[in-house]
A and B are shown apart, each in its own frame.
Chain A
Amino acid sequence: MTHTIDTAAPGLALRPRLGAHERPGPAVPAGAEAPFASMRDAFTHTVSAALDRREDLAVVLAEISADAFAAAAAAHPDRVVNTGIREQAMVGVAGGLALAGMRPVLHSYAPFVVERPFEQLKLDLGHQGVGAVVVSIGASYDWTEGGRTHQAPGDVALINTLPGWTVHVPGHPVEAAELVADALAGTGRVYVRLSNRANALAWPTGAGFQRLREGREGVVLAVGPALDAVLAGTAGLDVTVLYAATVRPFDDAGLRAAVAATGADGARIVLVEPYLRGTSSPFVHAALEDSPHRLRALGVDRDAELRRYGTPADHDAAHGLDAAGVRRSVRDFLGG
């Protein structure tokens, strides 16, 4: 089954035309109106609706997105709590709610829900042996004009130091809604990383890596909102494109199968993540530990803080995460 993309549709001029081998179908067909304006919108609506159905669900906020949860807070005052600008308390309270048998959802900007109260995530959730759904916005540099204080390219890498977490990096509001709903239904510790940056199309979630293109030279694994730049940057190249909206657990089998299907001697992998470069490299190596492979990881620069405002697109270009940067790296890597 193939999908042709209507590049003449409004706002879709930069949408890549997929090759002849793409599969399976996107969750939202091209041209269909997405039901949510943004990933945050998808998150707040999904959780608000679930609060009406499930009495064990609770939301803990620290001002961020409090307006979006105002109606839910009015309906469920004991289960939607805004702690004020108190992120340590937000995580601790979530841990206490879970100890009392509730399923807590906590949410803020990524630096304030992951980096600032990191020890609380480690101890008040993990060490206490309880689950929670941690949902961030802001991503690596959604607000480039806001500067470093509101940017968290290291969030996933930090979470990856902790045992027992699931990490979702949706690339589309529809994926965000599905992954949040899945997280609410579970009992474990889940980190859902939302972003203003979204791909043109949503892909099915929860079934491992999606193989969007087939090629023979190598495998490019795109994570979350990095997909569109990967699709554009690899257009015309003879590579397989894998898409991941969930990086932990890592779909080892999906990566191995994609590598095997290239038919090449020796796997060549390009990992493209919209956060700290190399964050998932250990998982790639672990999946392929029994076979020779080479890996190039693209992502946000580890070596220097980018002291620059401008737009997210400017930062993409600076980190080599725009289509041109991805193309340059993939060709250099495969040609070498």
Chain B
Amino acid sequence: MCMALTDTAARRGYRDLPYLISLMTGDEKHTAAAESTLDVLWVLYDRVLRVSPGTAEDPDRDRFLLSKGHGPMAFYAVLAAKGFIGEDELPGWAGAGSRLGHHPDGRLVPGAEIGSGSLGHGLPLAVGTALGLRAQGRTARTVVLVGDGELDEGSNHEAIALAGRLGLGRLTAVAVDNASSRHGWPGGIAERFAVEGWSTATVDGRDHGALYRAFTDHPGDRPHAVVARIRPGGAR
């Protein structure tokens, strides 16, 4: 990670995320905890992904694709904490002059690899990104975040099968599972990936150590799925 940053953002830590989110919501108490993606995003940007504001255009950077574009406040807060965007952008989010919308636009937000909002697009895009990096001989990781409800979209299952068959070892999908899928996933979400040839890990989506191990300790010869379970309703 880039340690040379001297601005405020470089000194922001996990404990500052509720404050950063409150700049968007005006409500620090419960909204931050309700962000199901908060801990996954923090662990990825703090400890896993090799990308920083200084390498955001480097072709060898790790890619993070936020497929579940709904509720991007935690994403913006983490990007601000890591210096990709300024904290002063947060209060005016979704205004006419803001780069930050209720769904993120990859062409507007520094550090956002894709625009998302319509569900089921990130995983196929991530498969193509991982394939393109492999074709160029690059070893960068591609990590895509999906929601368990988002997995209802059939396009994900096209991509899950394809990635397994292509053996994309530098691709990781993290499914944030707060049991929001209408009809559920009997047998568990991980099984949907495992049967297609992915390695899988199912962990507590608030446990930073477990998330870190799930992201870093896996075979690497096939795509990897991390199921991050979050208790519905935002309780810690």
Contacts and interface: CB of A to CB of B under 8 A. Distances in A.
Interface of A: 55, 58, 60, 78-79, 81, 83-84, 86, 88-89, 91-102, 104, 119-120, 123-124, 127-129
Given A99-B114, A101-B59, A129-B107, A89 B132 contact: no
A84 B158 CA distance: 9
Given A101-B136, A123-B121, A83 B162 contact: yes
Contacts of A78: 131, 134-135
Nearest to B125: A96
Given A95-B125, A102-B136, A104-B128, 12 more contacts: A83-B158, A83-B162, A86-B162, A89-B158, A92-B125, A92-B127, A93-B125, A96-B128, A97-B129, A99-B113, A100-B128, A119-B118
Q: Is the interface of B mostly helix, strand, loop or mixed?
A: helix
Contacts of B131: 58, 78, 81, 93, 96-97, 100
A119 B105 CA distance: 16
A190 B105 CA distance: 23
B124 A95 contact: yes
A124 B121 contact: yes
B2 interface: no
Given A81-B166, A83-B158, A89-B159, A120 B135 contact: no
Contact of B130 (A84, A96, A104, A124): A96
Contacts of B59: 101
B127 A93 contact: yes
A96 B124 contact: yes
A92 B106 contact: no
B118 A123 contact: yes
Contacts of B107: 127-129
B126 interface: yes
A119 to B, nearest CB: 7
Contacts, number: 107
B6 to A, nearest CB: 31
Max chain A C-beta neighbours (<10 A), residue from B105, B130, B132, B154: B132
B129 A99 contact: yes
B56 interface: no
Nearest to B108: A129
Given A100-B128, A100-B132, A86 B158 contact: yes
6 contacts: A78-B135, A86-B158, A92-B123, A97-B129, A97-B132, A120-B155
Contacts of B135: 55, 58, 78-79, 97, 100, 102
Contacts of A129: 106-107
Nearest to B118: A123
Given A84-B162, A128-B106, A129-B106, A92 B132 contact: no
A100 B124 contact: no
B99 to A, nearest CB: 14
B220 interface: no
A58 to B, nearest CB: 7
B133 interface: yes
A44 B124 CA distance: 24
B125 A99 contact: yes
A100 B105 CA distance: 17
B164 to A, nearest CB: 12
B115 interface: yes
Nearest to B140: A100
B126 to A, nearest CB: 6
A96 B158 contact: no
A158 B27 CA distance: 43
Nearest to B122: A92
A15 to B, nearest CB: 44
A231 to B, nearest CB: 43
Contacts of B159: 89, 92-93
A128 B124 contact: no
A94 B134 CA distance: 14
A56 to B, nearest CB: 8
Q: Which 9 residue pairs of A and B lie closest in terms of their CB atoms, listed nearest first?
A: A96-B128, A92-B124, A100-B132, A93-B128, A89-B158, A86-B158, A96-B129, A78-B135, A88-B155
B78 to A, nearest CB: 21
A123 to B, nearest CB: 6
A204 B187 CA distance: 60
A128 B158 contact: no
A209 to B, nearest CB: 34
